[in-house]
Homo-oligomer: A and B are copies of this chain.
Amino acid sequence: MTQLPTVDDVARVANVSRQTVSNVLNSPEIVKATTRGRVEAAIAELGYRPHASARRLRTRQSSTIGVRLDPVTNGISGSVLDRYLHALTELAAERGMRIMLFTATDLDDEIEQYRTLRDGADVDAFVVTATRHADPRIEWLTTERVPFVSFGRPWGADMDAPDHLWVDVDGFAGHYEATRHLIGRGHTRIGYCGWPAGSGTGDERRRGWAVAMNEAFGLDDAALERLTTRTEEGVPQARRLIEKMFAADHDLEALVCVSDSVALGAMMAVNEAGHRSFPVIGFDNTPVAQAVGLSSVEQRLDQVAAATLELLMGATGRRVLPSGEKRPDDEAGAADMGHRLVIPKLVVRRSSHLAPVDETESADAGIAPAGSHHREEMQ
């Protein structure tokens, strides 16, 4: 009790050598069954647990993934990061990995952190959450061949020939599904309230709506543009804008909105205008959406987390693959991919009223290789 048991203690009790104990732990299949049983009994009896640092020192593997937390304002915010971390921690544990957090004050400091964590063998890989265009951190990680995945697609890069591993949520598919849902309920004049053009994320989401509308009603770009408004993120901005929109166009039947904040503003305007049964769908399924009963598109962060690990460690591996390693897809014959796009899920609520009713969720969807989905729908 005064001292934690070591492999040697276990070995003594089980009447074997250190190494055999080590083998029982790390490659049980090479130890004879009877011996293994004896060792396992000794381990249980002594309550032995391997000393993680000693193992890490010897193996030069930390079995730890470092996750950089964004400065509060940017990137994956609020409960999204929270749920992602939760899923990641859980799934990582199943593969014998742990999650370590870190932050940085500026870019130089951050690269310094990478160095320290890498050289100190504190982590085997990184997850980076808020990436910019031509990000120096990405560059450093890449040239140093440090394994990492970014949550968020690389901006301005060709998606099918990626510079680095990444995971993202498919905003296109999300609002495609949302729009299909509204069309299926008989709506025709479905508007879109987006962010100013040029934000990659916002453009992708709108494209989902646009493609669905084009497929169903054959609307051309000009017609689609007439059904679109754009606003900065924010409830009051959106509210004012939608009020104007109502003043101009009395035929609108429903709205798909680029975010829950925008959707909330829209709902308020809708309410004020006295519309009954005017569906509004947002994006992110934030607590705000839940609270007011707003339909929204939910990112499935468990799948994002699973995809993160799959990229880093392979489908079922228990260690991080060297940077640049081939990552064969599960589906036979599929080409290697350096990324995963997670299809989000529509959560339908009574979003035409402020009062929420019971939640009904749409059918399940899965992960699709990037491109395949989009391009086909685009035809």
Contact = CB atoms under 8 A, between A and B. Distances in A.
Interface of A: 4, 47, 49-54, 56-57, 62, 64, 69, 72, 77-79, 81-83, 85-86, 89-90, 93, 98-103, 115-116, 119-122, 235-236, 239, 261, 264, 268, 286-288, 291-293, 354-356
Given A93-B102, A235-B356, 18 more contacts: A52-B120, A52-B122, A53-B120, A53-B121, A53-B122, A69-B86, A72-B83, A72-B86, A89-B103, A98-B122, A99-B102, A235-B292, A236-B293, A236-B355, A239-B355, A264-B292, A268-B355, A286-B287
A52 B90 CA distance: 24
A236 to B, nearest CB: 5
Q: Which of A286, A288, A356 has the most CB of B within 10 A?
A: A288
B355 A51 contact: no
B103 A90 contact: yes
Q: Which of A53, A62, A103 has the most CB of B within 10 A?
A: A53
Nearest to A5: B119
A69 B90 CA distance: 9
Question: Assembly of this chain: how many copies?
Answer: 2
9 contacts: A49-B115, A49-B120, A51-B57, A51-B119, A79-B79, A98-B100, A99-B102, A236-B355, A236-B356
Nearest to A120: B52
A252 to B, nearest CB: 21
B69 A89 contact: yes
B72 A119 contact: no
A51 B248 CA distance: 66
Given A83-B72, A261-B291, A264-B291, A52 B121 contact: yes
B268 A354 contact: yes
Top 5 closest pairs, chain A to chain B, by CB: A52-B120, A53-B56, A49-B119, A78-B79, A82-B82
Given A235-B292, A239-B355, A99 B101 contact: yes
A51 B121 contact: yes
Q: Which of A78, A82, A239, A356 has the most CB of B within 10 A?
A: A82
Nearest to A70: B86
A288 B286 CA distance: 9
Nearest to A92: B101
A271 to B, nearest CB: 9
Given A264-B292, A287-B78, A291-B235, A85 B101 contact: yes
Contacts of A64: 100
Contacts of A50: 120
A57 B115 CA distance: 21
A57 B77 CA distance: 36
A375 to B, nearest CB: 35
A206 B99 CA distance: 39
B100 A100 contact: yes
Contacts of A93: 102-103
A53 B119 CA distance: 11
A294 B263 CA distance: 17
B100 A99 contact: yes
Contacts of A354: 268
